Amino acid sequence: MGILAKDPSGLRFAYAQSWLSSPDAFSADPLNLPLSPGEKTASKLWGCFEDATPDNWGRKVLLATHKQAPANELEWLLASRGAGAGCLLFSASRHSVAPPVPVPSFSELERLLELADEIDRGELPDHLDDALAKLLVYGSSMGGARPKVTVRLDERQYIAKLSRRDDLFNQPRAEFASLAMAKDAGIPVPGHRLHTVNGRTLLLIERFDREGEHRCHYLSANALIAPERMRQGDMEGSVSYLRLATIIQKISQDAQADRHDLYRRMIFNISISNTDDHLKNHGFLHQGHDQYRLAPAFDLLPHPEQTDELALIVGTQGRAATFENALSQCERFGLSKVQASQIIEEVMAVTTHAASYFQEAGLSPVEVGILSAACGLNRM
């Protein structure tokens, strides 16, 4: 695709001429790195590349399993070996790319979990199994701070999200219930299932940026909005669902459907108190050339400790998690007040029964009480 370089003055990127002339060419980011000749410069790594770097947990794994820590963002990209989100692969060579790290099979899940627990506690074994460590690296390069691994099952890749002993409630079961609610509320979600290993609950979520051996280009909302490149005054109003709706109009293959879908997701997040709905928890999948569709919804979970405000601006009342606030700017999503109110009713028809979903997911009565209370707030 191109050459990404770093020098004392900053970062440089240029599309390769062979890529520019290819009939299948597409940009790494249609808004911030449009497909055109010439060198682009920046002081910080472009978000489309940052999406492919490991986040907090992935970096913790890499630091624990590598003798030498990556010195900069480009070295983090090389260390991830194609395990991050999306289709981009990175190489220090102009002529070849090292093959991606192999995907662990489901049969290796138990051993991977043991190693992940040791890394999470900061207790690495004296004799680290290099082969096992490399397999753990693959599944740990996805975003987020919580421990996770990736495994291959039935020719598909799944992210295994783990429970922690100090969690307020069983997060894998709560997220499983939240995904089920979202699906019933008309929101596309990835395939998901619960699994138990040695009495410990795991949530397996199908990777939507992988279709068999095919890797799909993925862009987070954070990459497209690029808040780190904005002046402080401009950033505040841009970290919003409203800005996302505008971006959808620019890049979506079906802007009307995606704007309506985004509004439904916003209403769902308000309904269940999913207040961790930051820009990295929204994304887009490439459809061809420079057109995209909203990716399936993910990281859906009530946050009982913070129920008043979402992470993104909702409407004229800022981040306030109320339907009144959501209705205040519904036209930005291509919806009339009547249409927007209908979506609210459809979502509430599902989330008012949140307790049943949590019970069916196997949560304890105490956990059901904590979570359903966060989903039962008066949002008008």
138 CB neighbour count, 10 Å cutoff: 26
- Alpha-helical (H) ranges within 66-199 are 73-80, 109-121, 130-140, 171-184
What band does 66 get if pLDDT is binned at 50, 70 and 90? low
The distance of Cα 196 from the centroid of its chain, to the nearest Å, equals 24
Helix (H) or strand (E) holding 160: strand 156-162
Helix (H) or strand (E) holding 377: none
> Residue 34: pLDDT above 90?
yes
280-321 residue pLDDT tens: 999 999 998 889 999 999 999 999 999 999 999 999 999 999
- Strand pairing of 10-15 and 218-220? unpaired
For residues 95-105, b (16+ Cβ closer than 10 Å) or e, as one string? eeeeeebebbe
What are the backbone angles phi and psi of residue 153, rounded to the nearest 5°? -145, 125
pLDDT score of 127: 57
For residues 42-74, b (16+ Cβ closer than 10 Å) or e, as one string? eeebbbbbbbbbbbebbbbbbebbeeeebeeeb
Burial of 146 (0-12, 13-18, 19+ CB in 10 A): middle
Query: What single letter denotes the amino acid at residue 107?
Result: S
- Alpha-helical (H) ranges within the chain are 17-20, 47-50, 56-65, 73-80, 109-121, 130-140, 171-184, 221-225, 232-238, 241-251, 255-272, 323-327, 337-351, 354-360, 365-375
Q: Which residues pair with 4 in a beta bridge?
A: 13
pLDDT score of 107: 86
Domains and CATH numbers, the chain: 2-80 (no CATH), 106-178+189-211 (no CATH), 216-375 (1.10.1070.20)
- Rounded CA-CA distance 236/340 in Å is 25
Would you call 137 helix, strand, or coil by DSSP? helix
- Rounded CA-CA distance 379/347 in Å is 12
177-228 residue pLDDT tens: 999 999 999 999 999 999 998 888 999 999 999 988 788 999 999 999 987 6
pLDDT score of 238: 75
pTM score, whole prediction = 0.92
Q: Which of 224, 225, 248, 250 is nearest to 235 (CA)?
A: 225
pLDDT score of 346: 98
Burial of 184 (0-12, 13-18, 19+ CB in 10 A): middle
- Rounded CA-CA distance 66/77 in Å is 14
List own/partner pairs for 92-96 with CB under 8 A and 24 or more apart. Answer: 94/3
What band does 55 get if pLDDT is binned at 50, 70 and 90? confident
96-105 residue pLDDT tens: 787 777 788 8
- Rounded CA-CA distance 109/149 in Å is 8
Q: What is the DSSP letter of 106?
A: G
Range ranked top by mean pLDDT from 30-39, 79-88, 117-126, 146-155: 30-39
- The answer to whether 206 and 158 are in contact (CB under 8 A) is yes
What band does 137 get if pLDDT is binned at 50, 70 and 90? low
What band does 37 get if pLDDT is binned at 50, 70 and 90? very high
